[in-house]
Structure 1
Amino acid sequence: MTEERGDLLPELVVGRETHRWDREPDHSASRRQQLSARGPYEASVPAAIAEADLRISSSLQAEAEDAVREITRFDAEGVAIADRRAAREGGAAAAELAPLASVLLRTESASSSEIEGVTAGARALALAAIDAKTGPNAQLVTANVTAMQRAVALADDIDVDTILAAHAALLDRHVYAAPGRLRDQQVWLGSNALSPHTASFVPPHHTRVPAALDDLIAFVHRADLPVLVQVAIAHAQFETIHPFDDGNGRVGRTLVHAMLRHSGVTRTLIIPVSAGLLTDTSAYFHALTDYREGYVETIVRQFVNASFRALDNGRRLVEELELIHDRWSESLPSRRGSAARRLLPHLLSQPAINVTYVESATGVALSAAQRAVEQLEGAGILERTSGGRRNRVWIAPEVIAALDAFAERVGRRG
C-alpha cells in the first residue's frame, strides 16, 4: 500500500485470457515486428463491479464529498448569476442561464477531446458552430458537444442505450468507428503496437463487452457509494471495457456528466472536469493502469483533484465573461430589449456569428438582425472577419481571448 494507491483490492484486478490471432501480418512492417505479431495473445477480463466491496480510505471519501459539495455550489452559482442578470435586464432567468451552460459545455468538450489529441482553439470551435469553414478537429469537438448533450439529456435513466446514443452523436458519419454500435473485433492500445501482442493494454475480447457493460450499468445505479467515488470507478471501468472501435475516452467522459446529473449533483451546468484531468494526462492514464491492477484510490483522487482544479478555473472563466458582459452593457447605446442587447448573452457562448444566427437567436427579421450586428460592430463588441459581402462572419474578440486564457490555464502536462 502507498498513500496514493491505497489498499489493493484483489477482487478488482483485471484478469487475462488467451485468444487465437488469425490476422495476416502487416508485410510493410519489419521482419521482427511481423514475428512478434504471430500466435496467441492475451486479452483482459474485467472484474465484475456491480456488487463489489469498494474500500476507500475515510480521508479520501471526505475529500470526495467536499468536491461534490463544491460542484453543487458552483452549479447553484450559475443559477444565481442568471437570476441577477434577468432581474437587471428584464429577461427570463432560463434564457440568461443558457449561454453560461453552453460555454461550459463547449469548454468541457474541447478539453475531453484534447486528452485524446484532438485540439481546436476557441475561434475555430465558434466558427464550426455556425457551419463556417473550419478544420476536422473543430468538427470533432463540435460532435463531442452533441454527444455530451445527448448523454446528459438521457441521464434520468442511464443504460447501455444512453452510451450508444452518445457514441452515435460523437462519431456520426465516421463509418470506420461504427457509430452507435459495440465493437465486433479485438482492439488494443499502444501507438506503436501492430497487434495486441505488443500493446500496452488489450481490452476484453469483443464477446465479453455486452455482459461487461450490463455489469457496469448495474454499478452505475448503486446508491450506497459517495457520488464522486462511484463516478471515478465507473469511468475507469468503462475505459477498461473499451466497448467501441474509437471514441472510448470521450464517451467515457460523457458518462461522468450523465452520472453527476443523474445523482442531482449538477442540475444546470456542465463542470469542466476534463479540463482538470487535462492538466496532467500522464497522471490520469497512470491512474487507469492502477485501477486495472486493483488499486482504485488513484483514479478517485484524480477525479477529486480534477474537480477542484476545474471549479477554480471555471469560476475564473465565468467571472471574466461576466465582466465582459457588463462592459458591453455599458458601452452599447441600443435601448433595453433591442435585438443588439438581446444578442449580448448569446455572444458569451457563441462568439462567432452571422446574420442567420442573429435571426435565429433573437427571433427578429433579417433587416433588424443586420442592424443589430452593425450596432455591435460600431460599439467595438464585434469584429468582421472578412471584407466580402457574402457569408460574412463576425467574432467577439474579448470572449475568444477569455476562452483561450481558460485553455492556457488548463495546460497539458504529460
Structure 2
Amino acid sequence: MKPEPFIPEPLPPSGIDWITHIPLIGAANAALARFDGLLQSIQNPDLLLSPLITQEAVISSRIEGTQATMRELFLFEAGKPAESDEKKQDIREVMNYQNALNHARERMKTGPLSWNLVLSLHAILLDGVRGSSFVGIVRNIQNYIGPIGASIEQATYIPPPPDLLPEMIHNWEEYLVGPEKDVLVQLAVLKGQFEVIHPFCDGNGRIGRMIVPLFLMEKNLLSYPSFYISAYFDRTREEYYSRLLQISQTGDLNGWISYFLRAVRDQALFNIVRASDILSLYESTKSLIPQVIRSQYSIAVIDTLFQRPIISSTNFLEISHIPPESGKRILQKLRDAGVIEVIREGKGRSPTIYQFAQLVQIVEDEAFV
C-alpha cells in the first residue's frame, strides 16, 4: 500500500506543552546567553570564529552523507588536489556550505531573515554540485525519504505535495516573523516544520540547520551568527531523525521540542569551551609571534594562521600580503620555533604546506564534535 503524503497543521501549532518545557527553556536560554557573552568579548569574530564555520559546514554536510573531513578541506584550500573526483565533489559541497553561511551573515547586516534569503542560501549551497539542477527553487515534484534505491512505496516519509507548498511556505514565514512565548521553542517549531515541509528537492537538512544561528541572531539572542548545532545532531543522529519522524507519524511535536532544547543547551556549553580555547590560543599567539619573527608583520602573520590553519607557502604570501622575501624568512622562523609544522615539503611547482598544529588540534578535537 502506497503511503500518503503528510500534511502538517498550520503554524502556530496547537498543543505545545509549555509547562513541561519550562525547565529546558530556562536551561537552554541560560547556556545560550553565556555563549553570547563570550561572543561579545571577541573583538574580531570574523577571524577567530571562522574555524567554527568550517566545522559546522563539515559536520552538517557529513550528516547528509558527505565524506570530506576538516583536514581534507584545509589541505584542498592549501592547494593539495583531492584524492578522487568524488572527494572533490564532497569538498565542494562543504565549501558551498561555508559560502552560504558567509553570504547570510553579510545579507543580515542590512536585511532580515526571510524566505528570499533562504532561497539564495539554497542556490549557493547546491551551486555546481549534486542536486544543482534545482538550485534556489521550490520543488515542483513529489519527493520522498527512504533507503537508497527505495521506491515511493517503501518511503520512510513522504512530504506534502508540491501544490500545497506555496501556502505552507507563506505560513512558515509568517510564523518566522511573528511573536511566540519563547524564541527557542519558536525556533524548534520552525526547524521541525521546515523539515516536514521539505520544500526543496535536495539540501533541506543543511538549509534547516543553517537557519538555527541566523534566527537566533535575528531575534537578538546572539550578537553574531555562530551558534552551530550540527555537532549535537551528528552525535545523536538516530534520535535526531527519530524525533523529526515522530512529528508526522505520531504528532509528537513536544518530543521534538524537548530534544531541540537539549541540543541548544548542550551545544552552547560545548561551543563555549571550543570558542574559549580558540580565544586563549589567539591571545598566547599574539605574545609569541612577535618574539619569534621580530617583524612589523606580526599581526598579518597571526591573522593568516587563524584564517588558514593549514596553508601553503604560496597562500601564506597571498593572504598575508607580506613581501615574498620577508614572507619566506618569517615562515622559516615559525618553522624553526615549532609554531608551524611541515605537512608536505615543496617540490618543483608544488609549494610547501604547513599546519598551525595547535589550532588544527582544537577544531579537529572529536570530544567536542
TM-score norm. by structure 2 comes to: 0.87
Output the CA distance in 1 between the equivalents of 2:266 and 2:18. 22
- After the TM superposition, list the runs of 4 or more consecutive aligned residues in structure 1 that deviate by more than 6 angstroms: none
| Equivalent-residue separation in structure 1 for 2:246 and 2:150 (angstroms) | 24
Match of 2:99 among 146, 154, 166: 146
Aligned to 1:210, which of 160, 166, 189?
A: 166
- Name which of structure 1's ranges 215-224 and 316-325 shifts more when overlaid on structure 2: 316-325
- CA distance in 2 between counterparts of 1:139 and 1:334 reads 36
Match of residue 72 from structure 1:
33
Match of residue 347 from structure 1: 305
Which residue number corresponds to residue 270 of structure 2?
313
The separation in 1 between residues aligned to 2:106 and 2:280, in whole angstroms, is: 30
Q: Do structure 1's residue 47 and structure 2's residue 6 form an aligned pair?
A: no
The structure-2 alpha-carbon separation of the partners of 1:301 and 1:336, relative to structure 1 and needing over 3 Å to count, comes to farther
Contact 2:61 2:206 in 1 (8 A): yes
Q: Is the 8 A contact 1:64 1:228 kept in 2?
A: yes
Partner Cα distance (2:22, 2:107) in 1: 28
Cα distance in 1 for partners of 2:17, 2:212 equals: 19
Question: Does the C-alpha gap of structure 1 residues 150 and 194 become closer, same or farther in structure 2, counting only changes over 3 Å?
Answer: same
CA contact (8 A) 1:112 1:274 kept: yes
Task: Note the C-alpha offset of 1:113.
Answer: 1.6
| Count of residue pairs brought into register by the alignment | 357
Is structure 2 residue 172 aligned with structure 1 residue 224? Answer: no
CA gap of 1:360–1:209, structure 2 versus 1, over 3 A, is farther
C-alpha spacing 1:108/1:43, structure 2 compared with 1 (3 Å) = same
In the other structure, the counterpart of 2:24 is 63
| Structure-1 separation of matches of 2:284 and 2:276 | 12
Q: Distance in 2 between matches of 1:176 and 1:98?
A: 30
Structure 1 residue 188: Cα displacement: 0.8
Shift of 1:223: 1.5
Q: Which amino acid aligns with 1:396?
A: F
TM-superposition CA deviations, 1:33-80 (whole Å, max 9, x none): xxx8xxx6622222211x444523324134224312322321221332
- Contiguous gaps of at least 5 residues in structure 2: none
Q: 1:140-192 CA deviation, whole Å, 9 max, x = no partner?
A: 11211112223344444222211111111111013644111112211111114
Q: Is the 8 A contact 1:347 1:396 kept in 2?
A: yes
Contact 1:351 1:400 in 2 (8 A): yes
Contact kept? 2:341, 2:355, Cα under 8 Å = yes
What SS is found at the alignment partner of 1:277? helix
Partner Cα distance (2:257, 2:304) in 1: 36
CA shift, 1:340, in A, is 4.1
CA distance in 1, matches of 2:121, 2:127: 10
Of the three residues 269, 272, 276, the one matched with 2:228 is: 272
Indicate yes or no: 2:126 matched with 1:165. no
The answer to whether the 8 Å contact 1:273/1:307 transfers is yes
Tell me the equivalent position of 2:361: 401
| Residue 80 of structure 2 is aligned to residue 123 of structure 1 | no
**2:346 paired with 1:390:** no
Tell me the CA shift for residue 326 of structure 1.
4.7
Residue 154 of structure 2: aligned partner:
198
Q: CA RMSD in A?
A: 2.5
The percent of aligned pairs where both chains have the same amino acid is 22
Separation in 1, partners of 2:287, 2:130: 50
**Which amino acid in the other structure matches residue 44 of structure 1?**
F
Structure 1 residue matching 2:6: 3-state secondary structure: strand
Give 1:318 shift. 2.6
Task: Report the AA paired with residue 9 of structure 2.
Answer: A
For 1:381 and 1:54, how far apart are their aligned partners in 2?
Answer: 56
- Tell me the distance in 1 between the aligned counterparts of 2:176 and 2:295: 45
Q: Secondary structure at the match of 2:49?
A: helix
Give the Cα–Cα distance (whole angstroms) in 2 for the partners of residues 307 and 268 of structure 1: 16
Distance 2:244 2:181 in 1: 20
Q: Deviations over 1:319-368 (max 9, x none)?
A: 33344445544544346773244322442342112344334543333333
CA 1:141 to 1:173, structure 2 compared with 1: closer, same or farther past 3 Å?
A: same
| Structure with greater Cα Rg | 1
Shift of 1:400: 1.8
Indicate conservation of the 8 Å contact 1:325/1:345, yes or no.
no
Equivalent-residue separation in structure 1 for 2:129 and 2:219 (angstroms): 32
